[in-house]
């Protein structure tokens, strides 16, 4: 999970599960443009920017000029001008990615698969070193910061100038309540999600818009929010990672989807990528994966309403990331934590729910849930399961993680193909997010 007060910054395993309500599918829960009053359908600025770039590429490929008139010696011409077919935007994008990848060595390509923690209170030097020297895909501001948005904007602008053609994600945990990385001038004091979910739709839309505006003004491009976990009514206190802190938007899928969707809209309206977490759901567990080992959900199934929430939100035009849980789900895959499970990530999230975007891990650096696995193996297992971005709040493990991924890719062609696919997925997301020139 992520950043509870005074913790290493993410959820951990630790226990049994709360009593579950009867399973209910939510495939038809209204989302964007649904029946809730006050909801808006927004075109994310970064999506508009990406479409503009593609349009310019199309015009360039077509020559950008009017058809030439035939010369007198060229003989008769037909009355209809000849036009060439417009290039396929998808093919143009892939050609762009090919060009970017051709300019990177293998280690720099793999570095794009990592998001590394830097101290939120003093991020400048550490972030500069990681972005400039290792070429990591992103940095995560861990802990808490009371810095003004304008001061943080100066730091993130300097980071962007280091690699202007391929910028790093700048990520935070900005949920509200107990989980709010940034609280200085320029950042609103956000209520916990359980209170956000109780707001009238128009007020929640305003809150989400303000959240997106404040993060964008500070140069934050990735918010590890909103929480999409469904915590059944009456089990809140037993649910250590989510319910105990009021991090849930509601007790049912029907309540969570529109509320979390309003936050997605608000972030997307200002070019900030959202992250729906923690798949396939932490609403039924007891222990927290940040500080407990062996957290097991014994209730959630593939067709549970909690799982369906992620499919609904992940299909949003806001193009959010999806973060995996580090708990184990006995009725989905009892043999591996979700972050390391091909059944959870590839079969369920990518296969059954059809999600083709970025899958980011919960913390694989300091979380107690993963400490019995060597750091390098954590990164390899996550990518082998179908993940895209490895998040570690502990920077010391980054070299071991990258070395292990490179070594495994050299020895295993199938894994190498998975790494290649993950790198392309990561770079496509940067095109959408306006980070890839």
Q: What pLDDT shows up at residue 86?
A: 78
- Position 56 confidence tier, pLDDT thresholds 50, 70, 90: very low
Looking at residue 163, which CATH number applies to its domain? 3.20.20.300
151 occurs within a structural domain: yes
121 occurs within a structural domain: yes
Measured between alpha carbons, how far is residue 222 from residues 140, 231, 273, 364 in Å? 9, 25, 5, 18
Q: What pLDDT shows up at residue 83?
A: 59
What is the total count of domains within the chain?
Answer: 1
8 occurs within a structural domain: no
Place of tokens 């396929």: 88
Those residues whose C-beta lies under 8 Å from the C-beta of residue 344, and which sit 6 or more positions away, are 279, 280, 324, 329, 332, 333, 336, 338, 385
Cβ contact 338:302 at 8 Å: no
Per the structure, the complete domain to which residue 396 belongs is given by: 45-57+89-94+111-432
Q: Which is nearest to 8 in space by CA: 128, 119, 111?
A: 119
Q: What pLDDT shows up at residue 240?
A: 97
Least reliable range by pLDDT among 15-24, 104-113, 225-234, 304-313: 15-24
Q: pTM of this prediction? A: 0.83
12 occurs within a structural domain: no
Phi then psi for residue 181, to 5 deg, are -65, -45
82 occurs within a structural domain: no
Q: What pLDDT shows up at residue 437?
A: 80
Q: What pLDDT shows up at residue 84?
A: 65
365 occurs within a structural domain: yes
204 occurs within a structural domain: yes
Quick: pLDDT tens for 162-177: 999 999 999 999 999 9
147 vs 170: CA distance, rounded Å: 15
- Position 331 confidence tier, pLDDT thresholds 50, 70, 90: very high
Instruction: Indicate if the pLDDT at residue 54 is higher than 70.
Output: no
């Amino acid at each position: 999970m992520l950043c509870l007060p005074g913790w290493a910054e993410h959820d951990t395993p630790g226990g049994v599960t709360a009593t579950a309500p009867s399973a209910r599918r939510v495939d038809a829960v209204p989302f964007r443009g649904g029946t809730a009053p006050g909801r808006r359908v927004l075109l994310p600025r970064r999506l508009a920017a990406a479409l503009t770039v593609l349009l310019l590429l199309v015009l360039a490929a077509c020559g950008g000029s009017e058809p030439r008139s035939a010369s007198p010696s060229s003989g008769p011409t037909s009355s209809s001008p000849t036009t060439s077919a417009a290039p396929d935007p998808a093919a143009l994008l892939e050609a762009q990615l090919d060009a970017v990848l051709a300019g990177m060595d293998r280690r720099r390509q793999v570095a794009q698969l990592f998001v590394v923690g830097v101290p939120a209170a003093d991020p400048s030097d550490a972030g500069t070193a990681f972005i400039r020297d290792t070429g990591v895909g992103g940095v995560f501001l861990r802990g808490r910061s009371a810095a003004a948005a304008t001061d943080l904007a100066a730091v993130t602008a300097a980071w962007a100038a280091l690699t202007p053609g391929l910028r790093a994600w700048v990520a935070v945990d900005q949920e509200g309540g107990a989980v709010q990385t940034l609280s200085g001038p320029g950042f609103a004091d956000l209520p916990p999600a359980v209170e956000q979910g109780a707001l009238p739709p128009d007020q929640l839309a305003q809150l989400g818009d303000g959240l997106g505006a404040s993060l964008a003004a500070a140069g934050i491009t990735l918010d590890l929010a909103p929480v999409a976990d469904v915590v059944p009514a009456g089990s809140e206190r037993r649910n250590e990672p989510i319910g105990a802190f009021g991090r849930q938007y509601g007790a049912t899928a029907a309540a969570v989807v529109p509320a979390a969707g309003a936050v997605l809209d608000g972030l997307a309206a200002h070019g900030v990528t959202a992250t729906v977490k923690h798949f396939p759901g932490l609403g039924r567990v007891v222990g927290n994966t940040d500080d407990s080992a062996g957290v097991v959900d014994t209730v959630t199934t593939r067709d549970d309403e909690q799982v369906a929430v992620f499919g609904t939100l992940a299909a949003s035009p806001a193009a959010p990331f999806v973060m995996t849980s580090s708990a184990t789900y006995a009725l989905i895959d009892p043999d591996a934590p979700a972050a390391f499970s091909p059944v959870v990530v590839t079969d369920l999230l990518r296969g059954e729910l059809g999600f083709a975007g970025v899958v980011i891990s919960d913390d694989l650096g300091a979380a107690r849930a993963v400490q019995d696995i060597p750091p390098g193996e954590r990164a390899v297992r996550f990518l082998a399961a179908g993940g895209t971005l490895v998040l570690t709040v502990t920077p010391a493990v980054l070299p071991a993680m990258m070395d292990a991924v490179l070594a495994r890719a050299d020895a295993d062609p199938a894994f190498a193909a998975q790494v290649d696919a993950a790198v392309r997925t990561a770079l496509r997301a940067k095109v959408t997010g306006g980070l890839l020139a």
